[in-house]
Amino acid sequence: MKITSYQQNLLSDTERLTAFYEVIREKSKGVIYDLGTGSGVLGSWAAPLSRRVYAVEKDPVTAKIARKNLSKFKNVSLMVNNAKTISFPEKADVIICEMMDTALIDEDQVPVLNSVRKYLKKDGNIIPCGVFNGVEALDVNIAHPCYHEGKSPQHRLMSELIIYDKINFKEHINPEIDYSITVPINNNGTVSGIKLTTFTLLTPNFICGPTPMLNPPLLVPTNQLNVEKGDEIILKLNYSMGGGLDTLRASIKTFS
């Protein structure tokens, strides 16, 4: 079965895979849900350490890859279904859900967990267990939101990183973000965009920064303001977690 280019990119991100491998080996036990199993890699690590793995994948083509890769494990049940609407026959000790994207905007992590969390045992774990979201002001020339890859697109940082959101996946999450964030400026020049960075909590004590396939920084254009070092601006930030990048809106104004 041919693996898609997207799956190949996921499998080539060794930093992401190593981080998940360590935590899955540490936390796996009992009944495990692997939501959005993809090619089945994370589920294959959990299977030898658990009683039962329910691997869920809604895309039929990807599910065929997972079925082949997981076929040697007799305790894995592959469910070709949408994790947001599925019913499980027993509660989970561990939920693995890596439907991640920067600021949780463009993937289904939040709506899926809001739906499935009721099946997690009271003392159960979710991998990852949460995220921190941060923002920086930029001088950048872009027309649309884009991910920062290598040195492209070029930009100049105009502020320090501000953590504006801390999300615990074991708690219900309001997917609608509507924040006004005060951003101190530390350079003279122009602010014309922002940089969103997500730090993933694999466990409460294990933080993974952005990798090529795990929450790469997202650059977002705003209106333009001329600023001086020591100024403060107000960032108005709106999006829907799981709603896609089309829901993302960012604008800035001077502090008054």
Give the tens place of pLDDT for each residue, 42-72. 999 999 999 999 999 999 999 999 999 999 9
Q: Are 31 and 92 in contact (CB under 8 A)?
A: yes
Using the structure block, give the residue that is written with the tokens 């995220």: 131
pLDDT digits (tens, 9 = 90+) for 161-190: 999 999 999 999 999 999 999 999 999 999
Say whether pLDDT at 157 is over 90.
yes
**Residues of the chain above pLDDT 70, percent:** 94
Q: What average pLDDT score do residues 124-147 get?
A: 96
* CATH numbers and ranges of domains, the chain: 5-98 (3.40.50.150), 130-254 (2.70.160.11)
Q: Which amino acid is at 7?
A: Q
Band (2; pLDDT cuts 50, 70, 90): very low
Let me know: does 160 contact 131? Beta carbons within 8 Å: no
